[in-house]
Structure 1
Amino acid sequence: MTIDRRSMLKQVGGAGTIAALVGCIGVQEQGTEQPSNSGDGDTESSEPAGTATAWYGLSNTELDLRERAIEAFNEQSSHTVEGGNISEMQDKTTSAIPAGQGPQMFQWAHDWVGDYYQRGFVIDQSDSLNISLDQFTGAAANAVQTDDAVVGLPFSAETVTLIYNTDIVDSPPESFAEMESTMESHHDPDNGQYGLAWPVDPYFVSGVGQAFGGQYFDASQDDPVGLDSEETIRGFEFLVDNLFQYMPNDPGYEPQQVAFLEGNAAFAVNGPWYLAALRDSDTNFEVTTFPSLDGGKFTPLSGIKMWYFSKAMEADDANAAAAREFVEWFVTNEDHLLTRAEEQGHIPVLSTLAGSDDLPGPVRAYSQAVDQGIPMPTDPRMNDVFAAMGDPVTQLFNGSLSPEEALTSAAEEARSQWE
C-alpha cells in the first residue's frame, strides 16, 4: 500500500517551545519595507486593528509551538490571529472558501498553487506585500508563484535524503559502490537485518527515478509526462537492479521506517519529519546527501511549505492586513525559524538561514539535500501523474512488472485523464 504523498509533505516534528520568542518578535508596522527580525520594532500600527483566521493541519506534537507563536504575535501586535487545527485540509478549503466561510490564510505544501489559483481559492498579493521574494531561496520564491501571481509566502522546505546508522556505518559513503558494499555486508533478512530502509512511493523514490535526466512531469513540454522516457526508465531500472533487494519486503512506510528506528538497517531514506522519531529512538544516526549514482545524480522532488492567501483576502480590509502582517513575520523572523529548526527539524528557506551553520547538523544536511532536488510541479495535472504511478510502482517493487511496463502503464493512465 502506498502512502499519500500529501501526508508526507506535511511537516512532522517533535514538541517545542517558543518562550525565547516572547518579547523578541519583530512585527512590522504598516508601510515599512519589511518586518524586523531582531524584535526591536514598534508593534503598534496606525491602521485599524483586524482579526485574521489561520488554518493549519498539524500533529499534536507541533501544536504547542504554533499556538505559542500565535499568542506571542497577538501580544505584540495591534492585530489578532485566531488559529484552527484542521483535518482534511483539502476538503475543508475547497468547500469553505467558495462559500465565503474560509480563513484569510492557510498552511500547506506548495503543490496546490496552480490548481487553487485556477479555481479562485487563492489570490495574488504581490502588490500588497511589504517584503521581497528575494529574501528566500530561488526554489522557495518560485514555488509560491503562478502566472506572475504571488499567492502566498514560503517558510520551509522538505525532501528526502540518505540517513545512516553510525553504529554500522563509520562515515557517509563517498560513492554508490561504497554504499552498496556496506548494504551487502549488513543485509541478512533471515535475521531481520537490512542494508536499506526506504519507503517505496513515487515521491520517496523520485531521487533515483529522476537521477539520469528523466522527470516525472515537465509542464514546459508539449507532452509533459516524462514517466516513459528512456531516462526515467533507466532510473527505475537502477532502483530494481541495485536498491530494492536490500530493503524489507514490505514497501510501506511503517515497515521501512521501523527497520531503521530499531537499529536493523544500515541506511535509510526519509524526510525531515522523520527526525523526531529518530531522536526518540536508540539508534545513533547522521543525515547526509546521497552519493553519485554511477553517472547519475540523486534528484528528489522537494516540497515547499507555505502560507496561502485565500480568497477571503479580496476584501483588502483590516483582517487582510492582519493576515499579511502575521505571515510576513512568520516567514522572516529568524528567531522563530531557528526555533522551528531546533525543536522540530524544519528546513528554513529564508536566504540568511538556508544551509547556515546556525542550523542543527541534521537540518543543515537536509537543507543541502534540498539543493540536490527539484520542487514539486505546481501544475494541477501533476496530481494525475502521481495517482497513475501508485500501483505500478508497488508492482515494480513486487516484481510483477518491469520498469518499462510499470512506467508505460502509468504514463498512459496519466495522459488518458486529459483527453
Structure 2
Amino acid sequence: MRRRPVLKGIGGAVAGTALAGCMGYFSSSGNSAELWHDFTDSEKETFDSHLKSFNEETDHSLDASSVSNLQKQLETALPAGDGPMGFVWAHDWIGTQHENGTLYDASDSIGVDIGSTYSEAAANAVQWKGNVYGLPYAAETVTLMYNKDMVETPPETIPEMVEIMQEYNGDGQYGIGVPGDTYHLSAYLQGFGGVLYDEESDTLGVDDDSVVEGLKLIKESIYKYSPSDLNKSANLAVFEDENAPFVITGPWNLGGFRDKGLNVGVAPLPKPEGGEPTPLTGVKMWYLTSRLENADESVRDAVIKWAEWYTTNKDVVETNAQKHAMIPVLSEVVDSGNLGADVDAFSKSVAMGMPMPASKKMDAVWDPVQSALDVVLGSSGDPQKQLEKAAEKIRSSWE
C-alpha cells in the first residue's frame, strides 16, 4: 500500500462531495452502493463520464466519491464494516486485505471468464488463495517523461540522460524531477539484478550488493540533478514549471501535465550501464469489499456488474489508454496493436519490471527502505550501511 506514499492528495477527508452526503457512505447499511477512488482531476473527469454511461445503460444508480488519503480511509473504514462496496487500488494490497477479512470473494458471482478475458498477469493479480477479489482494468508503472520543447530525442541510457541533465542543471533549473520514494526509484534499485523482496522464494534482497549498486547509481547519476527535496510535489513542480527536461512518474500525471499546456513525450526508462531498469509494476483493479456480504442483492449485483462493465467495455479501456496512458489488460484490446505511442512506452517499462509483491510481508519492506533513501539521498548517508540497517529492521519485524 505504501508504494506511492504521497501519490495523490493529502489529508484524511473524503473529497468531492458535501460532508453530509459523505457521512452516509461511512454507514454500515447494506443499501448504499458506494465506490471510492483516488483518481487525479483529469482521470476523474473521464471516470465520471464512464459511471454516468453505466448508470444510464443499466438503470443502476451507483455513486462514487473521490477520497484523499485513500489508504488511511480504507484502513479505518473496512475493518469496522463501513466504507465502500468497491474501490480502486493496485493488486499489491490483496494479500493484506485477504488476511484482514475485508474483501468479498466473487468467484461464484463474476459473469466473465477471467482467464480468457484479461492478460495472464492481470488475471492472476486479482486472485488470492483461490478467491477472486475484483477485476483488473489496467497495468501501471513509472517511466520517463520529457519536455519535447527541451529535448528532441529521449535518452535510451543513463549516460545519455546525464549529458542532457547537465545542460539544464543549475541557476534554478534541474536535470530531472523524480519523487524520492521506494516505488518511484525501484527501477534502479533493482537495476542490476537485485530484488527488494522475492515473493516466490520468500527472500529479502534489500541489502544485496546489487541493490546497493542501484542506490549508488541513483545517488550519483540521478539525484545529483534533482531537487534536494525528495517529496513528490517538489519534483513534479520543477517539470510542470518547465525547470527540468525530465520527470519520472506514472500515467496518472500525464493528463494533468498536458492540461497545463506542456508538450510532453513518454519514453521507456533509460538503461544503466551493465544493467536493466526493473520497476515495480502494478495491476489496477476494482476491489470488491466485504460489505457486499450483507448488502442487498440489488446493490451487490450493481457493484459486480459495474466491475465487469468497466473492465470489459472496449470503449472504456481504449478511452483510458488514449487519454491517460492506462495500459490495457483486456485481451482483445491488448492484442489489437493500436495502443498509441504513450501506452507503448509505458508498456515497454512494464515489460522490464516485476509485479509488486502482494504478500503481507511486503508491508514491512516499504518504510525501512524509505528511511534508507531519506538518509542516503537527503543527507549523504552510506548506501550499504543504510540498506543493511533497513534489512535488519525488516527481518526483525518478520520474526
Question: TM-score band (shorter)?
Answer: 0.7 to 0.9
CA shift in 2, pair 1:168/1:98, >3 Å: closer
Q: Determine the structure 1 residue equivalent to 2:13.
A: none
1:153 maps onto 2:152 in alignment: no
Tell me if structure 2 keeps the 8 A contact 1:209–1:233. yes
Name which one, 1 or 2, has greater alpha-carbon Rg: 1
CA RMSD, aligned part only?
A: 2.6
Tell me if structure 1 keeps the 8 A contact 2:40–2:252. no
Distance in structure 2 (CA, Å) of the matches to 1:239 and 1:60: 31
CA shift in 2, pair 1:395/1:93, >3 Å: closer
TM-aligned CA deviation for residue 51 of structure 1: 7.3
Query: Aligned to 2:33, what secondary structure does the other structure show?
Result: strand
Structure 2: gaps of 5 or more residues: 10-30
Q: Determine the structure 1 residue equivalent to 2:286.
A: 307
Which is further off, 197-206 or 255-264? 255-264
Q: Determine the structure 2 residue equivalent to 1:74.
A: 55
Which is further off, 380-389 or 126-135? 126-135
Query: Aligned to 2:332, what secondary structure does the other structure show?
Result: coil
Distance in structure 2 (CA, Å) of the matches to 1:75 and 1:235: 51
Residue from 271, 280, 297 that aligns with 2:259: 280
CA shift in 2, pair 1:285/1:56, >3 Å: closer
Q: Per-residue CA shift, 1:43-101, capped at 9, x if unaligned?
A: xxxxxxx9733222344444443333222212221544233333443344344434444
| Counterpart residue identity of residue 118, structure 2 | F
Q: Percent identity?
A: 36
Query: Aligned to 1:390, what secondary structure does the other structure show?
Result: helix
Q: Determine the structure 2 residue equivalent to 1:137.
A: 119
Q: Aligned runs of 1:326-405 on 2, under 5 Å?
A: 326-354=306-334, 357-405=337-385
Query: Aligned to 2:393, what secondary structure does the other structure show?
Result: helix
Tell me if structure 2 keeps the 8 A contact 1:157–1:302. yes
1:109 maps onto 2:109 in alignment: no
Q: Determine the structure 2 residue equivalent to 1:5.
A: 4
Which is further off, 277-286 or 232-241? 277-286
TM-aligned CA deviation for residue 202 of structure 1: 1.0
Q: Determine the structure 2 residue equivalent to 1:238.
A: 217
| Counterpart residue identity of residue 195, structure 2 | Q
Distance in structure 2 (CA, Å) of the matches to 1:104 and 1:315: 10
Distance in structure 1 (CA, Å) of the matches to 2:85 and 2:210: 43
Structure 1: gaps of 5 or more residues: 11-49
Tell me if structure 2 keeps the 8 A contact 1:111–1:378. yes
| Counterpart residue identity of residue 175, structure 1 | T
Distance in structure 2 (CA, Å) of the matches to 1:323 and 1:283: 37
1:410 maps onto 2:390 in alignment: yes
Distance in structure 2 (CA, Å) of the matches to 1:97 and 1:7: 21
Distance in structure 1 (CA, Å) of the matches to 2:228 and 2:68: 32
Tell me if structure 2 keeps the 8 A contact 1:122–1:308. yes
| Counterpart residue identity of residue 382, structure 1 | M
TM-aligned CA deviation for residue 7 of structure 1: 4.2
Q: What is the aligned residue count?
A: 375
Distance in structure 2 (CA, Å) of the matches to 1:241 and 1:70: 46
Q: Determine the structure 2 residue equivalent to 1:254.
A: 233
Residue from 64, 69, 73 that aligns with 1:83: 64
Distance in structure 2 (CA, Å) of the matches to 1:174 and 1:4: 25
More helix by share: 2
